[in-house]
Structure 1
């Protein structure tokens, strides 16, 4: 049984995959990363599953990387950082290539890796109160591991603005750049997701799997070379003076010098 996720499958074949580290705003730990990778494999091969809904329990969808996981990277060797970045990259790859429709249900905060999770979904419904951010540069880092999926989702122009500024933005802006498909009042979020589920279930299961593979095959490929390149760039960024200062300040809950 996973410790950081809750997985259920109903009689229609709808699998609900919920992040359950509510006390940490569903920030991704090493354990959650592994469990999400395993869940993608299990749900993808389960003949009962017609569609998967990815959501976060508690107040947030996903706040990005777990503080203790980040602290471990701060102290780790370059080889260890690369290994951990590869673990994260393989999780995003597994979810991106999940051979079932994947619907994101987003509320509260979605930052960093949370936006990576959104970007590998086939469609995303967000609460109008949701907030988003790719804030890595404010710590002296870069959004490297998630970047192939984010750029594939929102395009280079929007990604450049958000990657470089690290600004936070609202659900309306997320919809305008294509990060999410629909924005609804919080009270209507579950209903909106149910309507989306019905659309996917109306499709023939095998045809839906083939259609998703077709769409992925026609998009610019996210190759092993690209994944290794962004992993290496992330490792480089961890070694900069800016990152060391920014992350130290973050842990000490103070502002770093620009």
Structure 2
């Protein structure tokens, strides 16, 4: 089905793997369209509880494909708007996916690749990975990926790395909060599997709503309106089928129905 990635399913878990190792998994318009499509489809797939975003080869993602960049050099303003809009749609498809997304970063992650990672919910990196927001070296800025990258690493760190285009290692990525876990290469798949196992045991509806909660509450001032919306949120989910089942199963000391 796909030219630039693979999709596998194992029980309740889908793995989307970038599959252009010969170009360090750099993305072009085909990759962007395919990632958007697969995440939109998985988002509405009731059989899937969690998604892993992975990559083949030594690098996770080098950002934009060189041949694609050559074509962009001759784009009109309207063409650049349309092209950037497709990239934005891809990132939004990951970020707003109803299923939790775990990034399994097995190698270097540069430029637009950092946007892919930042749009995920949980980020696990191998300790040898290098990260770089290299856009200013090319006379560009990381505009389309910036909402996700700044949320992930914070404004202070973003100010430094957007401006300097310095490379930084996985240990620094952990310190600034861009990644959640850093492990040795031989422990990467085990750590990701451990996180995925935790995700798929939780209420699917509650996980989806918790993702929305973070998006809607994060960074907002605590106002009466925000408090009212959170009160409404807990009231609605308490009365939901899974909310009632979760509380009943806990009180009755049995597994909830979503665990089969």
With the length of structure 2 as denominator, give the TM-score of the two structures: 0.83
Tell me what 2:7 maps to.
7
Deviations 1:37-60 (A, max 9, x none): 001110000111000000111111
Greater C-alpha radius of gyration? 2
Q: Distance in 2 between matches of 1:58 and 1:153?
A: 25
Residue matched to 1:166: 165
Tell me the residue number matched to 1:48: 47
Offset at 1:206? 1.0
Root-mean-square deviation (CA), in Å?
Answer: 1.0
> Counterparts of 1:97-136 in structure 2 under 5 Å?
97-136=96-135
Q: 1:143 and 1:30, CA in 2 relative to 1: closer, same or farther beyond 3 A? A: same
Structure 2: distance between partners of 1:45 and 1:5 = 19
The alpha carbon displacement at 1:161 in A equals: 0.3
Q: Which has the higher contact order (CA 8 A, sep 6+)?
A: 1
Distance apart, 1:220 and its partner CA: 4.7
Secondary structure, counterpart of 2:63 in structure 1: coil
Corresponding residue number in structure 2 for 1:68? 67
- Number of positions where the alignment pairs a residue of Structure 1 with one of Structure 2: 220
Alignment of 1:119-158 (within 5 A): 119-158=118-157
Q: Deviations 1:137-171 (Å, cap 9, x if unpaired)?
A: 11111111100111111111000000000000000
Give the match's secondary structure for 1:105.
strand
TM-score by length of 1: 0.84
Q: Which runs of 5+ in 1 are unaligned?
A: 222-258
Instruction: Note the residue ranges of structure 2 that are not aligned, 5 or more in a row.
Output: 221-260
Query: What displacement does 1:108 show?
Result: 1.5
Alpha-carbon distance in structure 2 between the residues aligned to 1:106 and 1:122: 13
Partner of 2:206: 207
Question: How far apart, in 2, do the equivalents of 1:19 and 1:140 lie?
Answer: 27
For 2:218 and 2:106, the matched residues in 1 are separated by 28
What SS is found at the alignment partner of 1:152? helix
**1:64-110 superposed Cα distances (whole Å, 9 cap, x missing partner):** 00101111111111111111011101110111100001000002110
- 2:190 equivalent in structure 1: 191
